[in-house]
Amino acid sequence: MTKLFRIPVVLLAGTFALPLASAQSYPSKPIRMVVPAAPGIMQDTLSRGFVEPLTKGFGQPIIVDNRIGADGVIGMEACAKAPPDGYTLCNTMSGAIIWNPALRLKLPYDAVRDFAPVVQVGFFDSALVAQSALPADSLQQLIDLVKARPDKVNWATFGVNSTGYMYMEWLRRSSGARFYHVPYKTPPQGLQALVAGESHVAVYGLSSIASLVKAGKLKLLGVTSARRQDWLPDVPTFEELGIKLPLRTWFGYHFPASTPREIVLRMNAEIRKAMADPGFRQSVLGRQMITPNDGTPEEFDAYIRVQRKGVTELVKFLGLKPE
């Protein structure tokens, strides 16, 4: 009887050993890093900052593959359909994982089932920014101004799916301040209009407006970061202002679903190792004004679940209809 069961047991043991053996030899060829953004913009620049340390850590080239279009949908679809073997690393942001599923009825990927969280790198923090000549130096003064001049203060956004629009609409509903919505096709167009005085307020990433603020061409009324910025200690955080919305933009990495856990943990360790280097923090994260927030895959997954629930509730509160 022992002989009858010996072969199946050996075969079964060998079957379980295959993924482990594959993970132990990983990587044996170049790793593709899919970036759902155009070369040169912040998401791409930050992703490319990881190429050198990851190449050194793995001993294999990291090849950046820019998949552009449809607010990241094309790149995310490519990631979702890639083999779960650890050779396609997906650069992800909150828009693709959280906002697209909440605001779009049809997506070629499932943000929950198609991806395995690897690590959250950090936050692209933003600010409520106003043209320097606007007679309002705080959020309350801005609200009072808008109430005194309904539909006269322009708020620039990049459309109803943008976080800037969500903040504007939330303030309108919670305070009664009637901003005049002015959508722009691209962030640079909106920023140019803000500096020129054609628009009055907007929400922009800190890295894109820092030089303009320091030059006195724009002023900040609040920041989305968890604490105040060292270079502008008098500007309060959104949370201090009572704006507690799940709209903080984050940057991270995912693998296609079902990627072996050993490979997920190895990638997590290598990315966190890069982030722990002081030189990397200054030259890559600091230059882009990224607030680091690395952790385990489980912590990243838990954060996403909480944010997804909050965004679903916010979309309902704002009366937005998925299209």
Q: Got the DSSP string for 174-205?
A: HH---PEEEE-SSHHHHHHHHHHTS--EEEEE
Residue 165, both tokens: 């629009």
Q: What value does the mean pLDDT take over residues 213-237?
A: 94
The CA distances from residue 1 to 4, 5, 6, 11, 125, in Å, are: 5, 7, 9, 17, 66
Determine the Cα–Cα distance for residues 131 and 219; give it in Å rounded to an integer: 6
What's the whole-number mean pLDDT along residues 150-170? 92
Q: What is the pLDDT of residue 15?
A: 44
Q: What pLDDT does residue 185 have?
A: 87
Structure tokens at 239: 């949370």
pLDDT grade for 22, boundaries at 50, 70 and 90:
low
Q: How far apart are the first and last CA of the chain?
A: 63
Whether the pLDDT of residue 180 is over 90: the answer is yes
Residue in this structure with the two tokens 């044996």, named with its chain if needed: 28
Q: Where are the alpha helices (DSSP H) in the chain?
A: 2-24, 42-49, 51-58, 73-80, 94, 100-103, 139-148, 163-175, 187-196, 206-214, 261-276, 278-280, 297-318
Give CA–CA dist 212/228, Å, rounded: 18
CA distance 259 to 40: 29
Indicate if the pLDDT at residue 116 is higher than 50: yes
pLDDT for the residue 9: 42
Q: Is 77 helix (H, G, I), strand (E, B) or coil?
A: helix
State mean pLDDT over 135-164. 94
pLDDT at 10 over 60: no
Choose among 44, 26, 29, 49: nearest CA to 271. Answer: 49
Q: Tell me the average pLDDT of the chain.
A: 91
More confident residue, 9 or 254: 254
Question: Which H/E stretch holds residue 93?
Answer: strand 88-93
The pLDDT tens digits for 243-293 are 999 999 999 999 999 999 999 999 999 999 999 999 999 999 998 899 999
Range of weakest confidence among 126-130, 137-141, 285-289: 285-289
Q: What percent of the chain has pLDDT over 70?
A: 93
Lowest mean pLDDT of 10-14, 90-94, 157-161, 210-214, name the range.
10-14
DSSP character at residue 236 = P
List, in order of start, the domains of the chain with CATH numbers: 2-20+29-124+248-318 (3.40.190.150), 141-223 (3.40.190.10)
Per-residue pLDDT for 3 more than 90?
A: no
Sheet containing strand 31-35, strands side by side: 62-66, 31-35, 88-93, 249-256, 115-124, 290-292
pLDDT of residue 160: 80
More confident residue, 263 or 103: 263
Its pTM stands at: 0.87
User: Which pLDDT band, with edges at 50, 70 and 90, does 12 fall under?
Assistant: very low
pLDDT band at 161 (very low <50, low <70, confident <90, very high): confident
Give residue 23's pLDDT band: very low, low, confident or very high (50, 70, 90): low
Sign of CA dihedral 48, 49, 52, 55: negative
- Only one residue has tokens 């002023």, namely 219
Q: Give the C-alpha separation, 68 to 247, whole Å.
A: 23
Query: How many other C-beta atoms lie within 10 A of the C-beta of residue 185?
Result: 9
Tell me the mean pLDDT in the region 130-152: 97
- Give me 190's structure tokens: 């909106």
Residue 1 pLDDT greater than 50, yes or no = no
Helical pair 261-276 and 51-58, crossing angle rounded to 10 deg: 120
